[in-house]
Amino acid sequence: MGYDRGKLDALRRKYGESHGGEMFDPKFRKVADKIFSKSGTRLAPYSG
């Protein structure tokens, strides 16, 4: 895998201002909407 400055710049333009909870793939968004509450929290995986 080579280093490509153009691709890196494109990724920075697309994702540079986003935060950790932001999702760009609609399929992942559907899953996250089922798991996480509106405040961004979820139940612990061992809680039930």
Count CB neighbours of 32 within 10 A.
Answer: 14
pLDDT digits (tens, 9 = 90+) for 9-32: 999 999 999 887 788 899 998 988
Residues 28 and 17: their CA atoms lie apart, in Å, by 19
Residues 14 and 26: their CA atoms lie apart, in Å, by 16
pTM of structure: 0.50
pLDDT band of residue 48 (cuts 50, 70, 90) is low
